[in-house]
Amino acid sequence: MNKKVSVRQWMVYIIIGLIGQIAWVIENMYLNTYIFSFGVGESYSSYISITNAASAIVAVLTTILLGTLSDRIGKRKYFISVGYVLWGISTLAFGFINVTSIQSLFGLEALSAAKTAAVLVIVLDCIMTFFGSTSNDAAFNAYVTETTDSSNVSKVQGVLATFPILSMLIVFGLLNPLTENGNWNLFFYIIGGITLVAGILGFFIIPKEEKKETDKTGFWERLISGFLPKNIKSNPTLYIGLIAFLIYCIASNIFMPYLMIYVQYTMEITGFEFILALGIALIIGAVVTIILGFIQNKIGIMKMLIPTALLFGVGCILLFFVQKGNLLLFILFATIMMSGYMSQSSTLNALIREYTPHGQEGSYQGLRMIFQVAIPMCTGPVIGELIVRNMSNATYVDSLTKELSPLPPNYIFLFAGIVGLISIVPSVIMLIKSKAKNNKGE
């Protein structure tokens, strides 16, 4: 039976989904730049790697445990709403962490205060991630999965896939001037406040859930179900799809933590040009993804796996060839890359939602997070750090230590593109299996 997506349901997807992604921009993009602004010298890349790895581990463990718990007791609405409120409060708290306040509070000299502030950011990031993963990764993703089916999942996912980029566009366009002027506290207060309000709205806009039948499956049985060999064997497409997602996410995490630093410092694209460049790339990329989502809804997910992987991988490699000062070429190739980045994410997410076992949507979010977050964020940023430390041909004078430190080089895109193209291999395997299954008439 096809599920019709109501206007109210679209409101939930759009409001909760988009504001959640705006909140994630803090972790995925701005905490890296925030730590960079402290002036900790060339060790900034190590702090960025640690930040990504620590939050990834917290995100996965939270999603596995809380996703399974939400399956057991239901009440996705309250997991989402309460989680967003606490997520907003923890985001607000970043506004109180800065080098000056740490110096005043602990009486430290500047460099020690900067390093202490960086550590506190990492700790608070883990706390924020706990609430964000509970409400968004575990509860909201499970909610979307169980309220869609094969007739509309590509359409819904096509819209949801644009939110990470649209959120970046909103934050870059409206709030980035605050960070450029050093007004980080107001920046965090605004985004934390928006997230908190979304949580309050959730109590009113998320429909009341139907009472489920008593679940006799034990908590620990649910917790490990996605890792059992019998379940892997019975649903190979899901797990091959997760491998494709893993490769894609490793590729994107090679450059994404350094993207803003690369654009603003290596490419020296700042101010209006920064907003223009990323604005064009993000808007066109979002439109392309929505269009491809509707096409995918008609022709099927499998037929979009290879085209979207090529779009992303080739787009990354093209960015490698852009020289500093060539704004138009950067915008063109960034648009291609962003279109692929969003559309491949949309396709793989739709695939995973469609093949997630019914009734275990929350339990399987943890499995998804291992492939989508934990492994990629513990490997991709480290690869990026090695590239920054060993292949950079540009430097900057650190604001605090006054030492020369390496800037992210264009090689982060070359390696990301090469890794990204490897995701075609599992995509081909899924395509072959799908054709073989269709030929058998299964």
Supply the DSSP string of 393-417, one letter for each residue.
Answer: --EEE-TTT--EEEPPPTHHHHHHH
Cα distances (Å, whole numbers) of residue 94 to 126, 129, 134, 383: 12, 13, 19, 27
Specify whether the CB–CB gap between 157 and 346 falls below 8 A.
yes
Q: What is the dihedral of CA 9, 29, 241, 2, to 10 degrees?
A: 10
Spell out a b/e string for 59-77, using b for 16 or more CB atoms within 10 Å of the CB, else e: bbbbbbbbbbbbbbeeebb
Name the strand (E) or helix (H) holding 105: helix 99-106
150 located within any domain: yes
Specify whether the CB–CB gap between 261 and 33 falls below 8 A.
yes
Per-residue pLDDT of the chain (442 residues; tens, 9 = 90+): 456 778 888 999 999 999 999 998 887 778 888 888 887 776 777 888 888 889 888 988 888 888 778 777 777 889 999 999 999 999 999 999 988 889 888 888 888 888 899 999 999 999 999 999 899 988 898 888 888 877 777 778 778 877 887 888 888 888 888 988 889 999 999 999 999 999 999 999 998 876 655 555 566 666 666 677 777 787 888 899 999 999 999 999 999 888 888 998 899 888 888 888 888 888 888 888 888 878 887 888 888 999 999 999 999 999 999 998 899 999 999 999 999 998 998 899 888 888 877 766 666 767 777 888 889 988 998 999 899 989 988 887 766 667 777 889 999 999 999 999 999 999 999 988 877 776 665 5
Structure token pair of residue 289: 């993804």
pTM: 0.76
378 located within any domain: yes
Could you give the number of structural domains in the chain?
A: 1
Burial of residue 201 (number of CB atoms within 10 Å: 0-12, 13-18, 19+): middle
Domain that holds residue 97: 7-208+217-439
Q: What is the dihedral of CA 371, 138, 363, 204, to 10 degrees?
A: -150
The C-alpha atoms of residue 79 and residue 70 are separated, in whole angstroms, by 7
330 located within any domain: yes
Q: What is the DSSP string of 365-392?
A: HHHHHIIIIIHHHHHHHHHHHHHHHHH-
2 located within any domain: no
CATH of the domain at 400: 1.20.1250.20
